[in-house]
Amino acid sequence: MTLSELYCAIDGDYSQALRILRVDKLIDKHIRRLPTNTLFSSLSEAGRAMDASSIFENAHALKGVCSNLGLVKLAGLASQVCDEFRPGNPRTMTDEEVAARLKDIDALYRKACEGIGEYEKSNQ
């Protein structure tokens, strides 16, 4: 499996990752680290507690990581959650809607991790 094929499998944008990271070696290095990134679990924990500050911080960081890696759907969902809890912004979503967005983030993250696992197996 190539990086391009991986990105197709996980609904990512390989060309965006290439524009930002410039070379396949860096994309490979950083995409392989995604499954061990603690931002996803930290965001889930903050969401269960509805800890506004932690949700904002983790969603903001996750948005950046995903954007840099070309994971545009994940970055978009993280951005929605981030903006919902940005200090000074009024809340527009219910807690249930936030929980649904976090569930969507989790599903896309799991899909990405599964794809990355397949990618790693094919490139050992």
| CATH for 29 | 1.20.120.160
Q: Which helix (H) or strand (E) holds 35?
A: none
pTM of the predicted model, to two decimals?
0.94
Decide: 105 and 81 in contact? Cβ < 8 Å: yes
* pLDDT exceeds cutoff 90 at 95: yes
* pLDDT exceeds cutoff 90 at 124: no
Decide: 112 and 13 in contact? Cβ < 8 Å: no
Angle between helices 24-33 and 14-21 (to 10 degrees): 110
If DSSP codes are grouped into helix, strand and coil, which group holds residue 92? coil
Q: Residue 78: which residues within 8 A CB-CB, separation 6 or more? A: 43, 59, 60, 62, 63, 66, 105
pLDDT in tens, 106-116: 999 999 999 99
Q: What is the mean pLDDT of the chain?
A: 97
**Tokens found for residue 62:** 């996750």
Q: What total of structural domains would you count in the chain?
A: 1
Q: Residue 107: which residues within 8 A CB-CB, separation 6 or more? A: none
If DSSP codes are grouped into helix, strand and coil, which group holds residue 111? helix
Q: Structural domain of residue 8, as residue ranges? A: 3-122
> What is the structure's pLDDT at 23?
97
pLDDT in tens, 3-47: 999 999 999 999 999 999 999 999 999 999 999 999 999 999 999
